Chains A and B, each alone.
Chain A
Amino acid sequence: MDLTLKVWRQAGANDKGALVEYKVTEISDHMSFLEMMDTLNEQLIEQGEEPVAFDHDCREGICGMCSLHINGEPHGPDAGTTTCQLHMRKFKDGDTIYIEPFRARAFPVIKDLVVDRSAFDRIQHAGGYISVNTSGNTQDANAIPVPKVDADKAFDAATCIGCGACVAACKNASAMLFVSAKISQFALLPQGKVEAAERAQNMVSQMDKEGFGNCTNTGACEAECPKGISLENIARMNREYLSASLGSE
C-alpha cells in the first residue's frame, strides 16, 4: 500500500518542531509500524536527508522503549498493542498517518519523535523497591506463602512496561497509572507491605515534583495502556496514600 505520513520533525530540545510530509510506497500488510518507519528512513538516507529519530529496541512489545503518537493515539489504533507490535494491516492503502512524539511537560522532546522519560526512573528511585539487601542470605522463598489471587494481582500490576502511554493519553498528563502499578505490586505482597506507607508517600511526592498532572478519573490511561494495567491500581494507590497520610506522625 501507499501512504502519506505527517511526521513531527524537531532538531533538538530547544528547536522549533513541525510536521513534515513524506510518501512511502509498497508497504506490506505484514510489516510492523516500525518496519514501515525503517523503510521511510532508508528512503531518506538514500535521498541524503536525515532519518527520523524514534525510540525502539526489543520490537517484541516488552521493553517499553517504543512510543509514538499515531493518529492521535499513543501506540496507534490497535488496543493492547505497543507501536512495535502494531502491524500495517491495521491501515488502508492511501491513508494519511500523523506521527508525533508523546506529549507531556514531564517528557521533553529530545529529537524528532524521541522524548525523555527519565522522570519515570526518578519516581522509581523514590521508592520503587523493597529495602532488602542483595546478599543472598534471605530466607527460603517458600517461607513466605502468598495467596495465588494476590500473587496474580501483583503480577498483573508488575507487567507495566513503563512506556508512558498512560501519560501521553491523559488530558492532564498524569502518571498515576504508572506509579500506582508499582505501588500496587508491592502493596499486594507480604514482602512489600512493611514499607508500603512510606513508599506511597515518596513516590507520589516525586511524581508531583516531576510535573505530571492530576488524575480526574477519565480512564484514557487504562484504555490506551498496551499492557491493560487496570484503573483498580489507582484506587489502591489512593487508599495506600490516604492511609499513609492519616497514619503518619
Chain B
Amino acid sequence: MKFDAKTPEGPIASKWTSYKDHINLVNPANKRLIDVIVVGTGLAGGSASATLAELGYNVKAFCYQDSPRRAHSIAAQGGINAAKNYQGDGDSTYRLFYDTVKGGDYRSREANVYRLAEVSANIIDQCVAQGVPFARDYGGLLDNRSFGGVLVSRTFYAKGQTGQQLLLGAYSAMNRQIARGKIAMYNRHEMLDLVVVDGKARGIIARNLVTGEIERHSAHAVVIASGGYGNVYFLSTNAMGSNVTAAWKIHKKGAYFANPCFTQIHPTCIPRSGEYQSKLTLMSESLRNDGRIWVPKNMEDVHAIREGRKKPTDLSEEERDYYLERRYPAFGNLVPRDVASRAAKERCDAGYGVNKTGEAVYLDFKSAIERYGKEQARIHNIENPSHEKIVALGEEVVRAKYGNLFQMYEKIVDEDPYKTPMMIYPATHYTMGGIWVDYDLMTTIPGCYAIGEANFSDHGANRLGASALMQGLADGYFVLPYTIGNYLADDIRTGRISTDLPEFEEAEKQVREKLEFFVNNTGSHSVDHYHKQLGKVMWDKVGMSRNEKGLQEAIDEIKAIREDFWKNVKVPGNMSEMNPELEKAMRVADFLELGELFARDALHRNESCGGHFREEYQTEDGEALRDDKNFAYVAAWEYQGEPSKAVLHKEQLEFKDIELKTRSYK
C-alpha cells in the first residue's frame, strides 16, 4: 500500500500557497454531480459540510446526536489560538508554528502545523463574520488571553464557552446550506461501516438510531470527522456518546491508525468522587492564568485537611508548596498540560493529595482575587479600601472571566471556589493519535479523508491549549475544501454511485450480523460492566505513566475482557427500534480492540514524549526523556485481522525549520 505524506516541495512558508496554485479544480457545474459524505458534525465536520456545500458539492452529513449543535466540540471552554498579533506582543505565524511543534514534543508533521498556523488568522475573521460573539475590550476590538505553554496572548475566547460559540457558528453555516438543500442532514444516525469499491471509499452503512433501520449511502468521497477516542478509558472528559467506531471501521478497511498512545491527560479536571461516576468534568485550562496550584508542604497538614481538622485557607503561604512555580520558574503555573499533569500525579503519588481518595491538588484564586481587587480599587479611586472591599472587587473580576466555570464547580463539588481553593486532578481529555492522513488529509484509503481530532497530524505527542478548536476549524473551513477538490477532479464523469453494488451488500450483511449477535446473545453482564473493566486496565496500566510490565499485562487483560464480552454481554431490546444499549455495545466492541492496539503502541515506543510517559525513560529529576534518534517518527499501524497482528509502518519526521531540541519549561 502507498504510504506517502505528499508534503509539497519548497520553503515551508510558501508550501500551502504553492500547493493551492497547482491543484486541480472542479468547475462549479461539475461539483453538482459529486456527492460527499461527512461523518460527524462538530467543529471539523460541521465547518467542512458547510464549506463543501457552499462550493457546490452535494453533502450528506451524519451525526449520532439529535442535532449537529450537540457535537462535543460544544463543551470546549477556553479558547482558540490565532496568530493575529493584535496585542503586539511579538506573535507571528512562525511563532505559533514553533510553539505548536515544540509543545507537541516534536512528533507532528512540520508542513501540516505550519499550514495550521497560517490559516489560523482567517478562522477568527470567518467566525466574527458569522456572528460568533467573541469577548471584546471597551474599544470594541477583540480581546485575547494566554494559555499554557506559550508566552504570548493569542487566544480568542467567549467567556468559558468558546467551543459552544464556535460550534454554533459552524452549525449556523450548516443551517444556511441545509435551507438551500445543499446539505442533507442525517441526525440520530451512526456510521457502522465504510464501503470500498475498486479500492476507493464509495459510501457508508449507517443505522438510523430511531427506527433501527440499516441504510446504504453512496458518495464520491467520505470524510471522517468523528472526534477522538478518549472514552476508551470509560471515565474521560468526552461526551458519553463519543466513540471510536467510525475511525476504527475505516482502520479495519485499510486506513492506518497513527500514534494511538498519544493521549492527552488534562491537568485541571474535577476529581472523581466515587465508583458510580459516569464521566469527568473539565475545568478550563485558562484558570491556570489566575489560579496558583499547590499542596501542603507538611504531611501533618495533608492529614489534617483530609480528616477535616484543617481547611486549606488555614495554611499560610509558607506552609504551601507551589510545586509548579518551584520546579518551573519560567512558566510556573502555565507549563504545558503533560508537564502539569505529571507534576500533580507526582505530588499525589508522594502522598500529598488533598481529598479523601488522595487524588487532588489545589487550584487557588486567592492571590488573583486580591491582585484584581487592589487594581479595581485604584481604578475606581477608592482610598484605603478594606480587605473585604478588595476581595469583593476582585471576586467581581474573576466572576466576569470564569463565572460559569466556578458555578459548574460549585454544583458538582458543593463548595464555593471563591472562598476555598478548587480541587483538581488530571483526566483523559483529547487524543492526539488518530487516523493517519497525508498533507491532503486523505487516509491510506483513496477517497477517504479524516479531519479534526479524528486524524493525527497536527498536535504531535501533546496538545497545547486552545489548539484543538483551531485545528478542527482549519481542516473543515479552509484545508479540506481545497485538497478534496484535487481528488474529486478525477470523478466528474463517474456519475451517481449505485448502492446495489455487491460491496454495499456485503458491508450491510456484516453490520446486520453483528447487530443480530448482540440482541440474540444470552449473556449476563451489561455493556457498561465491560467498558468499566476496560477503562480500569487502561487507566492503571496505559494511563498517565506506563511501563513495560504493565503494558504487557494490559494487552493480555484487554484480550481476556474482549473474549468475555463476546461470550457474556447482555443487550436487552431488539434491533428495529431505538436501543441505546445496542448502540453502546457496538461502540464498546470497537474500544475493546482499539485498547489493545493503544497498549501495543505504548509498548513499542521506548521513550517518553508528550502524553506518553514511560517510567523506564526519564531524567534523574523525573522529566520525560525523549529519544529523537530512534523515535522521531509517526507510528502508523495497518490492520491485519486483529489488533495483535497489526503491522507497524513508520513515517520518519523531518525537522528542517525547527531545530529538534529538548523541551524545557524551567
Contacts and interface: CB of A to CB of B under 8 A. Distances in A.
A201 to B, nearest CB: 14
Contact of B65 (A53, A57, A125): A57
A39 B276 contact: yes
Contact of B239 (A11, A49, A57): A57
Given A53-B578, A120-B67, A38 B278 contact: yes
Nearest to A159: B161
A1 interface: no
B239 A146 contact: no
Counting chain B CB atoms within 10 Å of each CB, the highest count among A89, A118, A151 belongs to: A151
A57 B178 contact: no
Interface in A107-159: 110-111, 114, 116-118, 120-121, 124-126, 128-136, 138-142, 144-148, 151, 154-155, 158-159
Contacts of A120: 67
A134 B127 CA distance: 9
Contacts of B304: none
Contacts of B570: 45
A63 B70 contact: yes
Interface residues of B, number: 80
Interface residues of A, number: 78
A134 B67 contact: no
A62 B164 contact: yes
Contact of B125 (A32, A126, A139): A139
A145 B139 contact: yes
A191 B130 contact: yes
Interface in B270-300: 273-274, 276-279, 281-282
B172 interface: yes
B72 interface: yes
A222 B118 CA distance: 43
B273 A191 contact: no
Interface in B127-177: 127-131, 133-142, 158-159, 161, 164-165, 168, 171-173, 175-176
A136 B122 contact: yes
Interface stretch (B46-54, B107-115, B649-657): B46-54
Given A50-B572, A60-B281, A155-B158, A126 B179 contact: yes
A142 B414 contact: no
Interface string B56-72: 00000000011101111
Contacts of B578: 12, 53, 110-111, 114
B200 to A, nearest CB: 27
Contacts of A12: 577-578
A249 interface: no
B568 interface: no
Contact of A34 (B72, B127, B135, B278): B278
Contact of A189 (B75, B133, B164, B239): B133
Given A32-B412, A124-B69, 12 more contacts: A57-B239, A63-B74, A121-B187, A124-B175, A125-B175, A132-B129, A141-B129, A142-B86, A151-B133, A155-B159, A185-B133, A191-B129
List of 8 A-B pairs having minimum Cβ-Cβ separation, nearest first: A145-B140, A129-B172, A141-B128, A138-B129, A155-B133, A136-B122, A30-B273, A58-B239
Interface of A: 11-12, 28, 30-32, 34-35, 38-39, 42, 44-46, 48-51, 53, 55-65, 78, 80-81, 85, 87, 89, 110-111, 114, 116-118, 120-121, 124-126, 128-136, 138-142, 144-148, 151, 154-155, 158-159, 161-162, 185-186, 189, 191-192
